Amino acid sequence: MTFAWIPLLAAPLAAALSAGLILRLMPLLRRYALARPNARSSHVVPTPQGGGIAVVTALVTVSGLFAGAPEVGPREAWTWLAGCTLALAVLGAVDDLRPLPALPRLAVQILVVGLLVSHLDGRLVPEIPLWLERALATLAGLWFVNLTNFMDGLDWMTVAEIVPVAATLVLFGLAGILPLLPTLVAASLLGAMLGFAPFNRPVAGLFLGDVGSLPVGLVTAWLLWHLAATGGFAAALLLPLVYLADASLTLAARARRRERVWEAHRSHFYQRATVNGLTVRGVVGRVFLANLALAGLAAASVVWPSWPVSLAALAAGGGIVALLLRRFAGIAS
C-alpha cells in the first residue's frame, strides 16, 4: 500500500500520547475517580478509573490528525465517528462519577449508535430493505458497546481483546483488504490501547472505566462493520468471538434465571474462571492466545474468500471459544 506509513505512524503516536496523558492525569484520577471494591468487583483495594480519557483522546486526536489527508478519503465519515465516540465517552465519564439509571443511559446509547449507523456508507445485505439493515446494525452496535463494557471487568481483559483485533485489522488494511480510513482508526486504537496497557497490567494501577469501554466498543463495532462490508463477514464474527460468546451466553443464562440483566454481576465465564482457580494473568493470557488463533482463522477466511473456507473457519473458531469457556467454567475437557 502506497500510504502504509499513515497507519504505521499513527500507532506509535497514539501509544505515546495515551501513556503521556495517563501520567499527567493520574494524580487527578487518584483524587476524584477511585473505583472502590464491592461484592461484584475483581479488585480488592480502591483503584483509580478513567484511563479511557487518555485512550479516547489519543484515538480521536491521532486519527483526526491524519484523517485530513486526501488519500484517506472524505472526512465526513471520521467526523461522525469521532463525534459519536466522544458522546459515549462523556456518557461513560458521568456514569463513572455518578452511576446513571439504566433507561436514560440506554436511551443515549441508542441515539448515538443510531446516528453513527445512519451515516455508514454501503450495504451489508442489499437483499433486505435499508431501514431493516440499519435497525439490525443499530441493535448489533448497541449490543457490542455494552458487551465491551460488561467484559471490562478484569485487569488487561480489554487489552487482551482489543489489541489482537485492532492489530489484525491494521494488517488487513496494509494488505489492501480494508480501506485506509478504517485502517487508520484501527492503528490509532491499537496504539492508544498499548499506551494504556502498562498501567492496567495485573495488579492494575488504573482501570479503563466506562469513559473508555463504551467508546472503545463503538469504534470496534464500526471497524468490524467496515470489515464485513468489504466481504469479510466471517472474519468480522471471528475476531470478537470470545467477547460475543461470553457476554451473549451469560446474558441469556441470566435472563433465563429472571435476573436483572442490566445490573452488575460476577457470572461471566472469565469472572467464574478466577473463582475456579485461574489467576488473572492465566485468564487474560488464555483470552489473548484464543484471540491470536481467531485472528489466524479470520485471515484465512479473507485470503481464501469462499463459503467452505469461511464455514470451516467459523466452526474452528467456535470450537476454540467453546473449549476456552468450558475451562473458565471449571468443566473438564
Provide the pLDDT for residue 1: 47
pTM over 0.75: yes
- Collapsing DSSP to helix, strand or coil, 261 comes out as coil
Buried b (16+ CB within 10 A) or exposed e, 136-145: ebbeebbbbb
Q: How far apart are CA 172 and CA 1, in angstroms?
A: 11
Q: For residue 207, report the phi and psi dihedrals to the nearest 5 degrees.
A: -105, 160
Per-residue pLDDT of the chain (333 residues; tens, 9 = 90+): 467 788 899 999 999 999 999 999 999 888 877 776 654 555 557 788 889 999 999 999 999 999 987 777 778 999 999 999 999 999 999 998 888 898 999 999 999 999 999 999 888 888 899 999 999 999 999 999 999 998 888 889 999 999 999 999 999 999 999 999 999 999 999 999 999 999 999 888 899 999 999 999 999 999 999 999 999 999 999 999 999 999 999 888 888 877 776 666 677 888 888 888 889 999 999 999 999 999 999 999 999 988 999 999 999 999 999 999 999 988 544
Angle, CA of 199, 202 and 208, to the nearest 5° = 45
* Residues 90, 106: Cα–Cα separation, whole Å: 14
**Nine-digit cell string for 333:** 475437557
d(CA 110, CA 85): 13
